[in-house]
Every structure is written in structure tokens, then in C-alpha cells.
Structure 1
Amino acid sequence: MENKKTKITVLYVDDEENNLVSFKATFRFKYKVLTAISGSEAIEIVKKNHVDIIVTDQRMPGMTGVQFLEEIIKINPEPMRILLTGYTDMAAVIDAVNKGKIFHYLNKPWSEEELDETINRAYDIYSERKNLLETYSKLEVSNEQLEFLLRQKLLS
């Protein structure tokens, strides 16, 4: 993290205010931390802010973590997604993988070291994916230019 120019932006979503305060206190110096107490509040934050990593609780009133992540994918599929739950609900985990397209699943209460490591691994993949997309885009432009030159050569 020290060699990265900007802080990773992490959105933490949990319906328990104590967990939001604890997460922010633990990671505020290392990451740019955004917090939301509900899925609907978090959706508004994602619409208005750049977010690299989303960490969400599964069991929340109104909208589960998986439902929230499904909505996020429609708005912005780029952020890496991590699901937390205090319950060993395999159906929720399966839904999170299949519908919420999560990067990783962790049990609550979370361990600072494990969550930190997971956020950093997620960010490494996020960064690599962005680099690959940029490279692919540049290759597409080069390919179009080469096709144009080839057509010109064939016509002359």
C-alpha cells in the first residue's frame, strides 16, 4: 500500500452503526473509507463517488448484501465486492457468488489482518483488470489503424 500513489477507496456497508465506526477507526489511515448504514444509502454513495472495493454485510433490513451487490453491478460493475456475514448460510454464499459476483466471502466478526489482506488482494486484481482493459483498448485502436493502412495499400 505504501507504494501506491492514492489511497484505495473502500465502501463499508453494515446496518450496525458500531461496526461502521469500528471499520472506519481501524482503516481510516490506510484507506479512504466511505460508510453506509443501508444498501440504499450505499447505492447513492456509489453513484456519487469513485469506489474501488465494496465490503458489505449480508444480513441487513430492507436489502440483503447480495441484493445490494446485484444493484451495484447494474450501476457500476467495476468495484471489487466482498461479503461479510455472521451466519454460515450457504444459500447466501452461493447467491453472493452467482448474483453478487463477489471476490471474497468472510465471516463476522472480521479479523483486521484478514480483511486488510483481502482488500489488498482485491485491489491488486482490480488494478490489473483496469490495466488489461486499457491495453486491450489501445490494441483495438492499433488494429483499426493497421486495417486502414492495409486497405489503403490494397487500393493503391
Structure 2
Amino acid sequence: MSFGLYIHFPFCKKKCPYCNFSSITADEGLIKRYIEALIIESDHRLTQQYLGYPQTIYIGGGTPSIVPAHYIKKTVKRFLPDNPIEFTVEANPESITTSWLDDMLESGASRISIGFQSLDDRILHNLGRVHTAKQAISSFDLARSAGFSNISIDLMFGV
């Protein structure tokens, strides 16, 4: 049976006014408890019914790039087969760092999706985003330099 796996990390620095996704602001203690619960649940599911490995993994949110990389690695390692698969992780421009990107690549991520939303600083401000257009472009360059060859960007139109 082939399937894809979506894992939701609901944590954000702040809630954007346009966003309808399930997200909360959190400290590392809450993130740690969430990851522990997620691992318990996934281990339970894996022992109840063996489905094999997913063909794709998508880590979304919230803002997965504010979650310390070791928590993401700990969560996904149980789902990764020995052969490479498409493994996407979402990120926001202001929270991408070289070390986080390196850790994501090391954990098997093959694709990154960066939430630009706009390249107009006025629109970004109106959307409640905390990054600038310059930071968005820099985050793309940083992901490319780190070794990501598959990069998508989210853009909003008509706002």
C-alpha cells in the first residue's frame, strides 16, 4: 500500500491574521511535550498496523523551521526507509539558519517549501509577517547554498 505522510508542527512565533491553519505560539517545553506525544502515537500506530514506509513525508505547520532540528529528526527517523524519498519541510524566511538547513538535509529532507507570501514589504507588513522581502530572497539563497536543489516558495496574490 502506498501512502504519503503529513506531520503537523503547529508552532509559530506569532499567529498571522490571515492564517486559518491550526497554530499556536510555544516555548521549547511545549514543543518537547508535543514531540513526545507524537512519537508515542506514531509508535502505537506502527505496532498496530504495519503499513510500510510512506512514499513522501511532508512536515508542515505552523512554522516547522522554529522547531529545533533534533525534534524533527527524532520524529521522522522512524518513518524513513533506507532508500531516499521525497521529504519536504516547510520554513519561514526569518527562521531559516544554515545549521537548521544542514540538519534537515542530514535527516533526509529533499525539498524545502519557504513561505515568502509576498516580495512587497508593505504587503508583508499588512499580512503580519515578520520577515522582509530581502530576508525572503536571502532564505532562498541560503537553502540553495546549503544543498537543497528542490525549493518551492509560497506566494499570495490578490492581497
TM-score of the pair, normalised by structure 1: 0.42
**Bigger RCO (CA 8 Å, 6+ sep):** 2
Which protein has the bigger helix share? 1
